[in-house]
Amino acid sequence: FLSDNPKQSSQIPVFIRILDINDHAPEFANYYETFVCENAKAGQLIQTVSAIDKDQPPRGHKFFFELVPEFAVHPNFSVVDNKGN
């Protein structure tokens, strides 16, 4: 609450220390452009994707992928974790 009366207000400097935890967001390892043919078979592998994170440790990150909830109920596609990011 700000007051028009200067006697009822004060200013205090606040210092915030930001910890350097995540400078880089995860990103796809490559640019992917995927096409699905109309005669694709059920269970056919369409695309394999991989992610990277430029933060340390270079090999210590674990990623997983999933369909957004609104498409997971009746999916036309499935996502399988191959345990390799």
Specify the pLDDT at position 25: 80
pLDDT value of position 85: 67
Q: Where do the structural domains in the chain lie, given as residue ranges?
A: 22-84
Please, which pLDDT band fits residue 16 given cuts at 50, 70 and 90? low
Res. 57: pLDDT tops 80: no
The predicted structure's pLDDT at residue 36: 82
- pLDDT band, residue 3 (cuts 50/70/90): low
Q: Is the pLDDT of residue 42 over 60?
A: yes
What is the b/e burial string over 47-75, where b = at least 16 CB atoms within 10 angstroms of the residue's CB?
eeeeeebeeeeeeeeeeeeeeeeeeeeee
On whether the CB atoms of residues 46 and 33 are closer than 8 A, the answer is no
Q: How far apart are CA 36 and CA 79, in angstroms?
A: 15
Alpha-carbon gap, residue 75 to 46, rounded angstroms: 14
Rounded (5°) CA angle 53-49-78: 125
